[in-house]
Structure 1
Amino acid sequence: MRHQQIPQDESFTEWLAGFRSWAGKCPDDEDAWRRAASQGLLSLAAPEAPGGANAGYESACLALEAFADESGLSGLPFAMAAQMWACQEPLLEFGTKDQQDRYLNPLMAGGAVGAFAATEYDSGSDLLSLRTHADRHSDGRWRLNGAKTFVTNGPAADVFLILARTADGSAISGLTAFLVPRDTPGLHIGNVIDKAGLAGAQLASLHLDNCVVADTELLGSTGGGFAVLMHAMRYERAFILAPTLGLMARALREAIEHVQSRNQFGQPLAAYDTIRQRLVRMHLSLTSAREVLYATARQADGSSLNHGRSSLTKLHVSTEFNRFCQELPDLYGGYALLPETGAIALLADAVASRYYSGTSDMQMKIIAEGLGL
């Protein structure tokens, strides 16, 4: 059982104000991850026993939103959120005390980076069709062979949570999760994958060539990988887009400032109804996305988050993010093509949000099944 949320008391309010102030001055450099972690960001949602702040999921999402809003960074908050939900959450739920001491505590403190490796070249969202396999030998160790791609944090990760097939037949009982340190023989990390959006978040491919892993590095039980995957996806789909709320809030403020200061035909752009309507639609998208995501966070804090709600949150927030960003180019006109407006970069981030953690079509399928369809 996970913790119950502690109240967002005066101490958290003060912490968030201080974090906002820090985030506004956070440099986008190689040290930014460690500095953000040193503020306590990565430990917010974890309970006290393994060293967390026990502040709850809503508090963690508020902090991720604030980080993106004040810093203007998209990739770094996304990458840190990916670790929080897809690596730390499974370690909290399935990790042994030894595994939590060796991996979870350094991850929360910023002394290590974690990456979840499930996607493969031919499987995409169909994670149950993965081909990476692990064979147990007589010495009690496992040998992993296969490849993964689009691994967020892959180039810098110190530990990988890797899903592999350990049995034929049912996909549900044939997967196992392994914790694989970066320096494990047979683990080869590919080059950074170039992409159009999420600047600052690094992706890579992995190749496993007789990668030897001890039995003590299983996360959960043999054949329990599906449970690990579902646990990670429940939280990742629900909260991976928390930083986008901050990006939207920042972009809305900047767009309002732009239309108020730029004149056309003798009056500010903000005086034209078509411009005002675009901004209202953007405000509506942001408000709607916020309402859904934070209601979901409160469900998680009450230990009532389910997969349907997680998928609904991912689908809704990504949809509103895309609607929001489609208005930006027509607010800026030709200036939208200039890097300083950030309009095109944000639009690329919005497009990407429809695909990671499962495509929008996959979220639709999960929601429909929950409706009995």
Structure 2
Amino acid sequence: MTAGRTRTIASPLMAVAFATIAACSPGTVGVEAARSDRIPTTTSAEPVDPPDDSPPPDDTLPSDDTLPSDDSEAQLPPSSEPEVPLTQDEIDELVAELTAGGFCDADDVRDEGIVTAMHFVVQGRLQAPCYVDQPGEGDEPADVVVDDDPRLVAAWESLVAVTPNELVSDISLLAGFEPCSTCDTLAFVTILDEDSTFFLLAVDVVAGEDDPDELRLTMMHELSHVFTQRSGEQLDVSALGAAGCDTFYNGNGCFTDDSYIWAWIQEFWPPEIRDTLPADGTVGTEDEGVDRCELDAGYTGSYAARHPEEDFAETFSAYVYDVEVDPALGAKFAFFDRFPEFASIRERARDLGFAGTESNFDGCG
């Protein structure tokens, strides 16, 4: 992932609005999805019981008598600050201040190729482009973009068509790029502010147009890295290291007791595997992922087997779009079924005819 430069929030409006348009945590800086991450296998198995609401110590899993009933609702954690809708004048003022503050900067994406367009996202809604590549600016995009990049807009619309606003609104900036000759990143997320609340999602518009199925999977993968790491709700970013973390430290913070990722880790990443992961929270090596993948068919591929967060993200994208996977992934699919906010995304995808989306997950086992 591209490491973004941080900006300072100067005005009162910007400070208040950041809580509204980007109430999320930094995610895992360095998390990205390459085109080579995936290939198909077979279908899911029967569901398993949900995790305990109060996670046990690292070396145990929840007991059956502490599990919530099937009709209990596992909703998104409430935001510490209720969302206050902004008026259009406030949105316009905010966008102007963000632009003046250097948040719409093509240099944050340019390492991956030619930046075609950038848009702020306010309360889950795409705003007019704050940057559009123009002829004569030194870049030479394959398709000259005059007023906007329709490929980028189409990519965004494919995401919001199935995703509820409370999840997608954590993204604050969207960018499109045409990749350099040696670049193979289809999409990535990064943070741009000092408070770790402002997320940039960047998309390879060329590859996305060539393979819409893979684009949908990758954008859902990246989105999961955002909503699973909301500062305070999902991740305690004040944690200084793994030593002071009783759950799991990912390099940017410590997952909260009731976070999605900690529940996932307790159920699918036992201590004997967690103890082999890098202590600084970074993703394991390619060889480590391959080794785990060869021993366990319960991963979508070797990339997922490298780290719990990648496992969650890859499996979540497969779940949403009903990708054909190995039956060993049935328990992981059932995990998502227990959360209404996730099941609703899958239902929307099915309603739009995306069930059975083709992928290039390489499979395991």
The one of the two structures with greater contact order (alpha-carbon pairs below 8 A, sep at least 6) is 2
TM score, norm. by length of structure 1: 0.29
Larger Rg over CA atoms: 1
From the two aligned structures, give the one with the greater helix fraction.
1
